[in-house]
Amino acid sequence: MGQDFDLTGAIPFDRDADDSRPGVLAVPGPFLYIGTGFTAQAFAAYVASYNFGRIQPSYIVLHHTAIPSTLAARYPFGAVWDANEEGMSAARIYQKRTRQLDALALYYQDTLGLDRGPHLFIDELYVWLFTPMNAVGIHAKEGNSYTANGKLHYSIGIEVVGYYENTLWPNDVATNVRIAVQSLCGRLNIAPVYHPGPLHTPAAHAGSLSSHRDYNKPQCPGAAITEVYYVATVTTPPVSPPPTLAKRYRVRGAAVYHAESGVGSVAGYLAPGDEVLIDKTYPSGTGHIADSTPKYGGLGFIRLSEIEAVTQ
């Protein structure tokens, strides 16, 4: 990465995000970090079975990273998340961005002196797991968590990669944010609405959506990302796929990969005899599992060599 991903000044609006020592709901380590990217549909499946523990998060806080920015939503200086990716395969882009996320984890730990950060980073391709969602994160000062009637309440902190002071989320980014937020709201009984309330008052946003500007940073998640805009974005119904072009196959038993190259990190495994719908194939010898596939929809890519005869 070198100079292409210089994290000087990174995460400028979250650098004082530690209001107090957060409660730990998961087993602590030297730095609470996962470092895995999911497609939005695979993230939704992940959330559906995730063990949030005895105390579940009860509200969501939206941010923008500013630094790193993106080519579509540039900050005046600093690292650019998706720079220098022309001609890269999907697998190489995933690997590059994983290294960048690792660098951000070190930045939170070594430069900011924290033992964790926000829970998710979202770009146009992936939902990236950062701090485990069953632990209180550090991202929004008093918006991290609060206690009412002796009960802890904490938020899921979502960093949308880019600088959105003058730019709306690009369509692919907005789609990933929508799917991620909808999956969290459905699982955690959070309403995809915004309730106005006094500044610095997380209890005003219990069971709903909020942003960093509700707490200690009016510049975040960017002036373009108004409450009206982000609520409308995350509540837009998903676009129905065109009439199925997918074909049904029986699986011999195989891994499902995040990358269309069919190498790298694994999103899950299919059992022998399971059936999947493949809606697109690639020169790398893989096929994409259609979102409409029961149980496995949108999970990722499977090697075509692991698929038996068409059954339809």
C-alpha dist (Å) from residue 53 to 20, 124, 130, 150, 262: 21, 29, 17, 18, 33
pLDDT at 252 over 50: yes
pLDDT band at 35 (very low <50, low <70, confident <90, very high): very high
3-class SS of residue 166: coil
Domains and CATH numbers, the chain: 2-235 (3.40.80.10), 247-310 (2.30.30.40)
* Predicted pLDDT at 24: 44
Number of H helices, E strands in the chain: 4, 14
Q: Dihedral of the CA atoms 117, 120, 169, 123 (nearest 10)? A: 110
Determine what percent of the chain is predicted with pLDDT higher than 90: 65
Give the pair of three-digit tokens for residue 101: 């996320």
Of all helices (H) and strands (E), which one includes residue 175?
Answer: helix 171-188
**How does pLDDT run across 136-177, given as a tens digit for each residue?**
999 999 999 999 999 999 999 999 999 999 999 999 999 999
Is the backbone of residue 300 left (phi > 0), alpha (psi -120 to 50) or beta? left
Mean pLDDT along residues 13-21: 72
